[in-house]
Structure 1
Amino acid sequence: MTHNINIYTHPSSLGGTGLFATTKITPGQLVLSIPEPLVTVPDDIHLTECCSRCMLWRPAGGGTSMLNLYEDERSLNYCTGCRVVKYCSKDCQRADWRALHKVECAIFKKLHPRILPGSVRATIRMLWTTPGEAWSQINSLESHESELRKTDKWEMITLMAKGAHGYSGTILGEKDVRGVYARLLINSITLVNSTFDPIGIAFDPLASLMNHSCDPNSVMVFDGRTVSVRALREIAKDEEITISYIDNTNPTSRRRSELQGRYFFTCSCQKCVSPATCSGLKEVFIDIPGVTTSNLEEYAWAAISTPSEDVLLKAIRALHTTKLWPLQRQPLPLLHHELIHSVYIPLSKWPQALLHSLLLYLYVDPVHYPQRHHPVRVTHAFTLVSLFLQVSGDLDSLERVAPKAKGMDLDLGKIIWGLLCEIVAHVALSHGTESTFAQTVRRKKQEVGEDLGANETTGVWVGKRINDVGLEEELVKIRVLVDGLLEEMKN
């Protein structure tokens, strides 16, 4: 079921059919909601960490959940038939069994311990669940088969489509299934959780109609398997709804290369036509001891896929040391992000994670996500709150990592409460008032408020607005620690 709240379909100047606003849409307003996308499946990495029905995520190694971002403590249990997919409850298991799993369970059981790739599992579900009306919508989507045939992906695409055809038992021919598989590759959506960790694959014909812009007016947010599209800025009546298919914080050359390589088009949005002047830094070359390639940017991008503290720090220092690389230019922010979430948080190195998160919050996010209600910016702020809560009980650990913190009259209570007030002020626009994430944020604020209110000194903040708390004054102090981290990275 789809809630076409503020949209209509119409031929687009960007290509094919697009979605357009029926009326003026204000920043943060819900543009479109799809509670039941046609297909949602966990990806290969997260298959054992997600409920295959509602997409509840329970990371096996802790990860972000160690920061108490998820208060729903339901455990995941294998389907006793196939031992491949997992569910968070009997209700989810029964619902998925009725919808599809009663058919795929036998296939998964027969193949176990081999597991079909996520794209094949998603294609099989498309072949089994798609009603007649949706078929015409799917067939109207671009498959780019002629372009895909010219790439080194084609042999694998043919193999995967052949597998989907054989295992599904569909009456469609192998050629038709290959077309379905190609359309899935081109038009599927990366399913993410509330904090934008990629966990699965989603596909819906209506969502596929949204065209791309590197400077989009809307953003897609997931709440479990529900897809929501919310306005980033004011959208005029009859203006086309656009989202970004890729990470639009990347340099122009990389964005264009990714769009051409995956979607076979060249973006002509203003951000691409008039790229930032710093994009020329892609040609900077520098010798790095111990690094075989002389191309600094290629080396830094490669480091992101290696979740090692030494490798990531070496790449970060290399970029900082050039004194030419803007802090906001990728892949430098991504390197800091990877260091936080793949190294420091899993290892419970809270002070280190806090300092690098503050760096992104203070200096990067306002540039990458200028709207205060941008969902990525809001979730980053909530991660920061969780890190402050971890460090607040052990200030000595922060002083050991950041010696300048010693003797500094930091009031972490004011920072935590001020950030929570800020997040609550924006979460209705970023994720929706009744979203799971918004409910988690409100519970956390209530919990912290009760702790602060019970204290004679801090109780005076509860109920006050962000500015009344004195958050900005405390952030001015904390910038000293972040600037110290930057200086350390440059030397």
Structure 2
Amino acid sequence: MTEQAALPAISTATPYYIAKSNVCVNSQKQSIGNGVFAGRKFGAGEEITAFKRPLVASLETERLSDTCANCYVWTEGSSTGTRLYVPEGTRVSKCAACQRFWYCSKACQKEAWNRGHKHECKMLTSMAGKQPPIPKAFLACMEVLIRRGHRLISDDDWEQLCRLPSHIEDFKQDGRCENIEMMAMGASRTFSHKDFDKDFIAAMYGRIISNALTLITPTLDPLGIMVDPTLCSVNHACNPNAYIMMDGPRVSLRTLRPIKKDKEIFISYIETTNPYHIRQEELQSRWFFTCRCAKCQKGTTLQEDMWKIPANPEFVVSAQDKQSMASSQEQTFKVYDKIQHLADPKVVIPVIEQALQICHESHFWPIHRQPYAALRDELILHLLAEGKYTDAWAQCAKRYKYILPKLYPVPFHPVRVVQAWQMTMLAAYLASTEYGVGVPGVQMGLIAMMLVKQVLDVAYLSHGPENAFTMSVKRKAEEMIGELKKCLGNADHEVMNRELEVQRDMLMEMGDWAKDGEALAALENFEMAEKAFSV
């Protein structure tokens, strides 16, 4: 038995417990599932508990050749951009035998070998080069079974894992069970064990698919899936009071809001800024439940379902207007889904810009409504990839001013922190160029200083003081302060503070640089208001 299996938790005292949950109920309102509850009172931005690593993790096929299969360091773009926490020169090399997993060092390869790879390597060697690629959930399922078969998963972890719902009956109803059974049959032929027949393997595969969480970097880049019996017992809410943060293999459960003792801990399984019906559809299709959290009980009356309409209290939204809104929303989500499968920025950027223009010129869309806001996130990423840094900066400034405070009002929300850090590093880069953003009076170096200070102030809460992300932000802040002192010498603090105020005002003005489309002359004399309703 490995050390990880024997001592999965880092915390010496367990500040949580698992018990029957009031949100997991059947049609008779009877509790049918468990949840994780706070063992003591927690403040906002605290770590509830942490684990050295999840029980099992499986990388996306696209990440196998550039990510360490043990410590999950993603080497692409290391030491550049937002991921300064990746050591310079980090590279991965593939396992010479199975040719499937890659490792960043001999130490990582040895650790993975002892944790169980030595038992799966031979099996994977026989499957090398087969097409199509082996699904990540299948690999995770095989790792679980192989490690348990060799007594590398403790009895407690195994029992808790087997208590997670398999949803086999739900898979039968939606037509996916046949695929699960085929995978189980293939697994039973590849790996034979007296305790694991085809039906048991199918149930375990169902548990993996329906309970897995996303494996992420400290900057929230998705790498694959992870399964852990404790973490997978944390239930979902669209207004979560906690979230999962990672630092390599270390997994931390952190508070987003204060949590009282004996109150249930909730995380979000989905993008909670999406409209009500989109959230419900995703949760039902992926996790087979209808969300009844406090937020969802309010239906389509909240910010996520707001549309822009004339502020006149006598104005009534017509059925035709609602139909137009619904059609626009459906088409915009289709565009968003489409670009997830496109890689070339030259192709993607015009598609996104056209979608933003349609949202803007429809006059119904608030700038923060999804997926209008998410399309802007994608546009920023592709503009950066294409080297269009000033255009990306204008979009970042717009997001910083109008979107982040609206969607993520908690200043240390991890999404808000990471996106602000992305903007910080872009400001630092533009400050190093000859022309910056090409506007007289704008000092990008000072703006970068303001932003890095803002990120550093909240990174301790969003990621924790020892997280590699926080440490990299701290180092960058110290570096920038040192450079600024060299340039300014013994500058008067009062003068400096006045200049910072000027630059802060300029940053807010930059939030209006990016235009999604033409202003509609017909609406110039109308005052618009945001109102939530179903379409």
TM-score, L = length of structure 2: 0.83
Distance 1:220 1:35 in 2: 13
- 1:236 paired with 2:260, answer yes
1:146 match: 169
The correspondence of residues 227-376 of structure 1 with structure 2, limited to 5 A, is 227-274=251-298, 275=300, 276=302, 279=305, 283-285=322-324, 295-305=330-340, 306-307=342-343, 308-341=348-381, 343-376=382-415
- 1:72 paired with 2:87, answer yes
- 1:476 paired with 2:508, answer no
Distance 1:294 1:185 in 2: 29
8 Å contact kept, 1:215–1:270: yes
Task: Indicate which of 99, 111, 121 corresponds to 1:105.
Answer: 121
- 1:17 paired with 2:34, answer yes
Task: Indicate which of 88, 94, 97 corresponds to 1:81.
Answer: 97
- Any idea what SS the aligned residue of 2:481 has? helix
8 Å contact kept, 1:49–1:58: yes
Q: CA deviation at 1:110?
A: 1.9
Which range is displaced more, 256-265 or 386-395? 386-395
Distance 1:469 1:334 in 2: 35
> Which entry has the higher C-alpha Rg, 1 or 2?
2
2:431 match: 392
The correspondence of residues 184-263 of structure 1 with structure 2, limited to 5 A, is 184-263=208-287
Q: Cα–Cα, structure 1 residues 446 and 280, in superposed 2: closer, same or farther, change >3 Å? A: closer
Distance 1:156 1:63 in 2: 38
Question: Deviations 1:2-24 (Å, cap 9, x if unpaired)?
Answer: 13642122211011111111221
Question: Deviations 1:180-200 (Å, cap 9, x if unpaired)?
Answer: 010111111111111111101
- Any idea what SS the aligned residue of 1:423 has? helix
Which amino acid in the other structure matches residue 322 of structure 1?
A: S
2:193 match: 170
- Any idea what SS the aligned residue of 1:485 has? coil
8 Å contact kept, 1:452–1:459: no
Which range is displaced more, 107-116 or 182-191? 107-116
Distance 2:123 2:418 in 1: 39
8 Å contact kept, 2:332–2:355: no
Distance 2:492 2:228 in 1: 49
2:44 match: 27
Task: Indicate which of 511, 514, 533 corresponds to 1:485.
Answer: 514
Q: Cα–Cα, structure 1 residues 106 and 65, in superposed 2: closer, same or farther, change >3 Å? A: farther
Q: CA deviation at 1:63?
A: 9.1
Which range is displaced more, 220-229 or 275-284? 275-284
TM-score, L = length of structure 1: 0.90
- Count of aligned pairs: 473
Distance 1:209 1:143 in 2: 13
2:109 match: 93
8 Å contact kept, 1:418–1:470: no
Which amino acid in the other structure matches residue 52 of structure 1?
A: A
Question: Deviations 1:189-220 (Å, cap 9, x if unpaired)?
Answer: 11111111110111100111111110011111
Structure 2: gaps (5+ residues) = 1-7, 25-32, 148-152, 308-320, 521-535
2:63 match: 46
- 1:378 paired with 2:417, answer yes
Question: Deviations 1:299-337 (Å, cap 9, x if unpaired)?
Answer: 443444245111111111111111210111100111111
Q: CA deviation at 1:387?
A: 0.5
Distance 2:118 2:146 in 1: 11
2:16 match: 7
Distance 1:458 1:328 in 2: 43
Distance 1:468 1:30 in 2: 35
1:125 match: 143
Q: CA deviation at 1:66?
A: 4.1
Q: Cα–Cα, structure 1 residues 104 and 459, in superposed 2: closer, same or farther, change >3 Å? A: farther
Question: Deviations 1:431-478 (Å, cap 9, x if unpaired)?
Answer: 0111111111111112212211211259667xx9xx958655423212
8 Å contact kept, 2:360–2:517: no
- Any idea what SS the aligned residue of 2:48 has? strand
Which amino acid in the other structure matches residue 94 of structure 1?
A: K
Distance 1:71 1:131 in 2: 32
Distance 1:163 1:489 in 2: 57
Q: Cα–Cα, structure 1 residues 277 and 363, in superposed 2: closer, same or farther, change >3 Å? A: closer
Q: Cα–Cα, structure 1 residues 428 and 42, in superposed 2: closer, same or farther, change >3 Å? A: same
- Any idea what SS the aligned residue of 2:370 has? coil
Cα RMSD for the two superposed structures:
2.6
- Any idea what SS the aligned residue of 2:264 has? coil
Distance 1:489 1:151 in 2: 44
Distance 1:68 1:262 in 2: 31
1:433 match: 465
